[in-house]
Amino acid sequence: MSSANTPQPSHKPSRGARLVLIGLGVVLVALAIFGIIRRVHARHELTDQTNRDAIATVAVMSPKAAPEDQALTLPGTVASWQDAQIYARTTGYVAKWYVDIGAKVKKGQRLAELDTPDVDNQLLQGKAQMRTDQANENFAKVTADRYETLVKQGLVATQTGDQYVAQYKADVATVAADAANVAHLQNLEDFKHIIAPFDGVITQRNLDVGALVDAGSSGSNLFVIADTSKLRVYVDVPETYAASVHFGMPADVGLNTYGAKPITGAVARTADALDSNTRTLRTEIDVDNTSQVLVPGVYANVKLKVSTTTRNFIVPANTLLFRSEGLRIALVDPRQHIHLQPVTLGRDFGSTVEVTQGLNEQDRIVLSPPDSLYEGQQVNIAKQGKPAQNASR
């Protein structure tokens, strides 16, 4: 049999081999799909983590209520109990002066003497004129009495008697006018003695011997006298505390510059109206100054125990945000969004400040807020003990 007719073996894979190849392909496809799924899942996780990291985490606190009764220290101005500028009531020249600045004087004590030659001569003239008119009055009275008798006897006409009676009454009026003029000139004469109107201390002397002084307040004052046995201290109480200021309220008045112990006084009166420009209540405190520790015109610190009509809160100073639109505090609302709340500050205690308007006790305040916070920003609240993330990330 010829070798050309011998059948050749087939090179086609067997059924088992084909199954192995198909299984291997399925495994490779499955591995590829699994890898793709893992990469997609990892990408989703990375995106979620990135989104979570993009939301700032902040620490929050609740505001602390300020005490209702507070010690309020305000700047005050010390004024004398009473003071007066002493002017001349008559024109003349300074003849003598007896006291200088710092002298303590009593009521009625003579301070200076004026030389008033014009007034002296006018007084002499007035007295002489009054004596002349008094003599005319006496003569007119005698004449009027005599004619009244003759009228009753029918020896002269009634009209003639009436004329002399009228002349007598005119002379009486003239004498009365002379007496008033003499009294006026006598007062001017007495005013050449410059006397103290009350007990006090001389704070200014504006005259020298030989100086011409004019009557009235058109010229400069001769002396200024102040009563410092008691003092008036004026303070301006802010509107928030104005309602708690009342008559008899104790107050401590201290002077840093003099190093003296505070003196206790009491509120004597208030303006009972707020100043429309400063929204403050002018308050007067009376202080006994018998020991002469305080002097008028100095700067004083006045401590009052006041209460507020509004609910105030104390917050750390690092919660404040200074924006172009004004002072703000960052709050977190129930949906964990930022709200920039306008506030009004009261007193500054250094590390803490008092907020008089804008907060309530349910608010959640962001501690140390970054400047990048904006209205409506989504945030996370840090758990207690965990640090907050920077919101600028």
Axis-axis angle for helices 117-153, 158-190 (nearest 10): 160
Q: Residue 156: which pLDDT band, with cuts at 50, 70 and 90?
A: confident
Instruction: Please say whether the beta carbons of 151 and 158 come within 8 A.
Output: yes
Tokens of 355: 């907020």
The pLDDT value recorded for residue 298 is 84
C-alpha span between 146 and 166 (Å, rounded): 14
- Name the percent of the chain lying above pLDDT 70: 88
Higher pLDDT, 78 or 55: 78
The pLDDT value recorded for residue 209 is 93
The pLDDT value recorded for residue 1 is 45
Specify which of 35-39, 97-101, 151-155, 187-191 reaches the highest per-range mean pLDDT: 97-101
Give whole-number Cα distances, 270 to 50, 175, 245, 275, 348, in Å: 63, 53, 8, 12, 26
C-alpha span between 340 and 323 (Å, rounded): 10
Q: Residue 392: which pLDDT band, with cuts at 50, 70 and 90?
A: very low
Going from the N-terminus, what domains does the chain have, and what CATH number goes with each? 56-66+311-381 (2.40.420.20), 117-191 (1.10.287), 228-307 (2.40.30.170)
Length of the chain: 393
3-state secondary structure of 388: coil
The pLDDT value recorded for residue 386 is 53
* Mean pLDDT, range 307-334, rounded to an integer: 86
Specify which of 44-53, 246-255, 305-314 reaches the highest per-range mean pLDDT: 246-255
Q: Residue 149: which pLDDT band, with cuts at 50, 70 and 90?
A: confident
Task: Kindly state the greatest CA–CA separation across the chain.
Answer: 220
The backbone torsions φ and ψ at residue 212, rounded to the nearest 5 degrees and listed phi first, read -85, 130
- The CA angle 304-310-314, to the nearest 5 degrees, is 75
* Mean pLDDT, range 145-167, rounded to an integer: 87
Within a 13 Å sphere around the CA of 27, how many CA atoms are in the beta-carbon half?
6
The backbone torsions φ and ψ at residue 118, rounded to the nearest 5 degrees and listed phi first, read -65, -45
Q: Which of 159, 289, 189 is nearest to 232 (CA)?
A: 289
* Mean pLDDT, range 13-33, rounded to an integer: 75
The pLDDT value recorded for residue 29 is 78
352-357 vs 263-274, strand pairing mode: unpaired
The pLDDT value recorded for residue 273 is 92
Its pTM stands at: 0.58
- Name the percent of the chain lying above pLDDT 90: 39
The pLDDT value recorded for residue 385 is 52
Look at residue 8 and tell me whether its pLDDT is greater than 60: no
3-state secondary structure of 386: coil
Write the Ramachandran bin of 377: left for phi over 0, alpha for psi from -120 to 50, otherwise beta.
beta
223-238 vs 263-274, strand pairing mode: unpaired
* Mean pLDDT, range 206-234, rounded to an integer: 88
pLDDT one-digit tens code per residue, 247-302: 999 998 887 666 667 888 999 999 999 999 999 999 999 999 888 777 888 888 89
